[in-house]
A = this chain, B = another copy of it.
Amino acid sequence: MRHYVVRNFPRAESSLIDRLGACGVATVHEAQGRYGLMKPYMRPIYPGAKMAGSAVTVLCHEGDNIMIHAAIETLKPGDVLVVTTKADCTDGMFGDLLAASTRAHGGLGLIIDAGIRDVYDLTEMKFPVWAKAVSAAGTVKESPGSVNVPIVAAGQVVRAGDIVLADDDGVCIVKRENAEEVAKLAEARIKKEAVSREELMAGKLGVEKFRGKLAELGVKYVDELPGDWMS
């Protein structure tokens, strides 16, 4: 009904974004109470892709990428494009030309709840993309949308300036207001996990902590499979 391109919005400090990026998606998602994870169908186009930045959000009509062009003009260095469509779409709405343009304006990469194309070239460029599908199906430029309004992409609300983290485990959104708090919690988790890792590698059993819980849940230890098991 109303379509806007919003030019300005606040971003988190880059040092904060870097701290979150260093923690990784799985740890940050856990640290913020299991919020903000996109659906697992969002996959990187090459293994080892990793990215952390501020969201520039794009709402497109399915199969129409005119608003991505409009969004690139609003990019600042360290930003990440986050694109969604009004209805489900697997068309390849972004390719190597748009990637070149995104990079020229400081953009780090792309999250798209739709399809991607020119995968070979994007991989050569090491331009990181998380997408729902790969498809050579091209797009038209006929229907309006918005830039930098709050959107829903792959099950998550994303607002311009929210922090986007992406790696091999998926994509996680951290609200700008929570970034400092979440970074601290995530870093604490990393430290704790480092200790656990050493202990576990040395043979300590994780189950030691849960013996009481297992008993309380009625789990019984037996030497042989009893006749009355059920599954």
User: Interface 1/0s, chain A 66-105, versus B by CB < 8 A?
Assistant: 1101101100000000000011111110011110110111
Number of contacting residues on A, CB 8 A?
117
A118 at the interface (CB under 8 A from B): yes
Contact B231 A119 (CB under 8 A): no
Partner among B33, B96, B197 whose Cβ is within 8 Å of the Cβ of A1:
B33
Q: Does A168 contact B (CB under 8 A)?
A: yes
| Chain B residues whose CB sits within 8 angstroms of the CB of A119 once the complex forms | 47, 168-169
Q: Are A33 and B210 interface neighbours, CB within 8 A?
A: no
Q: Are A143 and B146 in contact (CB under 8 A)?
A: no
Measured CA separation A123–B50 after assembly (Å): 15
- The reply to whether B137 and A87 form a contact with Cβ atoms under 8 Å apart is yes
CB<8 Å pairs between A and B, sample of 16? A3-B217, A3-B218, A5-B220, A35-B86, A35-B231, A37-B135, A48-B120, A62-B91, A92-B169, A105-B203, A120-B169, A123-B168, A136-B172, A146-B229, A155-B155, A178-B230
